[in-house]
Amino acid sequence: MTKTFGVPKLALGIVALLAFLANATQADVVYNFTNFAGTGSGSNSGAGTNMNGIANNGAAVGFGISNAGAFTNFVRNPDGSFTTLNLNGTITAMAFGINSAGDVVGTDGNGNAVFLPHGGSANTLAVPGSTAATAFGINDNGNIVGQFTSATAMPGFFLSSSSGGSLTRIDAPSGADTVNAQGINNNGLIAGFYVGTDGQDHGFDAKIQNALGGSLTGTAIADPTIPNVAGEPGATFVFSQILGINDNGLAVGYYGDSTTSQHGFLYDTQTGKYTFLDDPFEQFDNGVEVTQITGIANSGEITGFYSDSNGVFHGFVAFAVPEPASCSLVVSCFSLLAVWLAKRKRESASS
């Protein structure tokens, strides 16, 4: 006679708990922030460090702003050291994007988009039909995105390579054709922001595979429903900017509210969910606080900057880690499951 076993309530409880934890531990995470001042950073209000992008290997790019307003571009290496960059030798040049090969894109400060290959010299990018251009993002395939100025608009652009390649114009979902294509992942998903019919910035995404005849129209992303923030009673949403995206479709950026403060967020392009996150050292300066999340790697590591009580900007990188309570629950759950499985094995052996 074959002996059959029902599923004990303990096992059902463990299964339910595992299902709960599979969702809860994804949301119940904390971020371990490392804050720093980059090369050339001043200590006056409006000076400091702006971080603008991060590669999948953890190298982040940005610039220090001196007390006199001069920019010093650099890469913050994964070990925490800094490498200074030369973007055509100007103090108004800005580095905005970096890939895993160490290639950097940005602007020379004179209206030209630039590409700086790792270990090489900066080159001006050819953006056909433009009177001015800025490159904001580069992926590991060497694809580059940015914005250019034409006679009638300021659309975004996609370049298949730094050597020129084919250019695709990126147009706004609506409103004036002003588009900032800020990031592109290795799957060809572009993210950024555009000026809507209300005159404010709003997020968009677009798949380069959907381009037709050298042009591509972005898809509007729903604005966030902003949370209540301590010290900002009655604040309402004004605008949002998406500044980076990884291969998992996780985008990052920030929103501005009616107090003129700015707060960081993560946005999942697959679920439409926003997660709000500020640097814990962010402080009010004359009633305004600022956190911008500007880049995200495939590992989930993020970069950006925040302002302190003196209006000085500081760079950061941050990793997501599970909350200790969630970790304890997972360990306890699997311990209970191990006990139940051992019991079933003994019962089966004796039958």
Per-residue pLDDT at 90 = 85
Q: For residue 212, is it within any domain?
A: yes
Q: Is the pLDDT of residue 336 over 90?
A: no
Q: For residue 316, is it within any domain?
A: no
Per-residue pLDDT at 89 = 80
What CATH number is associated with residue 172?
Answer: 2.120.10.30
Per-residue pLDDT at 28 = 60
Convert 247-259 to b/e letters by CB count within 10 Å (16 or more is b). eebbbbbbbbbeb
Q: For residue 279, is it within any domain?
A: no
Q: How far apart (Å, rounded) are the C-alpha atoms in residues 260 and 262? A: 7
Q: Is the pLDDT of residue 88 over 80?
A: yes
Q: For residue 27, is it within any domain?
A: no
Of the pLDDT bands very low, low, confident and very high (cuts 50, 70, 90), residue 340 is: very low
Residues 6+ apart with CB under 8 A from 334: none
Q: For residue 191, is it within any domain?
A: yes
Of the pLDDT bands very low, low, confident and very high (cuts 50, 70, 90), residue 29 is: confident
Q: For residue 172, is it within any domain?
A: yes
Unique residue bearing structure tokens 């080159």: 123
Q: For a pLDDT cut of 90, what percent of the chain falls above it? A: 79
Q: What is the pLDDT of residues 172-218, one digit of tens each?
A: 999 999 999 999 999 999 999 999 999 999 999 999 999 999 999 99
Per-residue pLDDT at 10 = 47
Measured at the CA of 254, the angle between CA 262 and CA 132, to 5 degrees, comes to 105
Convert 5-27 to b/e letters by CB count within 10 Å (16 or more is b). eeeeeebeebeebeeebeebbee
Per-residue pLDDT at 8 = 47
Q: For residue 209, is it within any domain?
A: yes
Q: What is the pLDDT of residues 237-260, one digit of tens each?
A: 999 999 999 999 999 999 999 999
Task: Please state, as a whole number, how many other Cβ atoms lie within 10 Å of the Cβ of residue 91.
Answer: 13
Q: How far apart (Å, rounded) are the C-alpha atoms in residues 132 and 150? A: 8
Domain count, the chain: 1
Parent domain of 185: 37-244
Unique residue bearing structure tokens 């996609």: 158
Of the pLDDT bands very low, low, confident and very high (cuts 50, 70, 90), residue 164 is: confident
Q: For residue 266, is it within any domain?
A: no
